[in-house]
Amino acid sequence: MAVDFQLRGARGRVRVDLQPATGAGDSGRDVLDPTLSAGHGAGLPVCTATVDYAGTGYAAAMGWVQFVRSTDSARPGTFELDPLALHDEVNTPYAFFGMTPTLFDAPFRDTDQDLSWQARSYLCVTPDAVLTRAAIPLLAFSWGFQIEAGSVTLEPAAHLDIGHWTELLAVLEDAHPAWSFH
C-alpha cells in the first residue's frame, strides 16, 4: 500500500509493507527475547512503513504516533498509545521520530488464545520541525491481526481517514499534557 502526501511544499509517499513472519529471526523478535524458538511468532504480522520525501534536513523531521486496541489489554475496547519501551519515561507521543523515519512493528503473542489486535498508525509533523511540542497528523493507516483457534489472520493495511485522529485526542492529551495536538 502507498499513500501520497504534501509537506512544506514537497511531495512524499509512505509505503506500507505488511507480511506474516516466518519466525522470530525475520522480525528481530529473537533480539528482544533470545529464548524464543526459531519458529516463534510464525504468521504474526511484520509491519514496515517507509517514508520517501523530497524535503531534506529539518524539513524532513516527522514522527510516527501509533495507537493499539487489543482484546488482551486491560482496556480491550480502547485505543492506547503504543510507544517503544525505551520511551516509557520520555515525554513524547512519537514511537519513532527523525528525518523520514521508518515505522516498524512486529507484535508477538502466543497463538494459543483467541485475540483481536488493531493498530492505527499516524505519520505526524511538528510545525516548526523540532522546536515545539506539537504533533499534527499528515496521514494514517490501520492494520492488525486476529488469532482464532490457533490460526492467525492478518488485517491488511488500509488508508485511514485522518479525521479519526480527533477520536484519540483525549488519549494524547492525558498522556502528554505539555504537548499540543491538532
Q: For the segment 38-86, what is each residue's pLDDT rounded down to a tens digit?
A: 888 999 999 999 999 999 999 999 999 999 999 999 999 899 999 788 8
> Domain tally for the chain?
1
Cell of residue 137, nine digits: 497528523
In the chain, the amino acid numbered 56 is: T
**Tell me, what's the pLDDT at 136?**
98
Residue range of the domain that includes 103: 2-181
Stated pTM of the model: 0.96
**Which residues lie closer than 8 Å to 157 by C-beta, 6 or more apart?**
1, 16, 18, 47, 141, 142, 143
CB 45 within 8 A of CB 143: yes
Q: Region 83-100: what's the mean pLDDT?
A: 90
pLDDT in tens, 101-149: 999 999 988 899 999 999 999 999 999 999 999 999 999 999 999 999 9
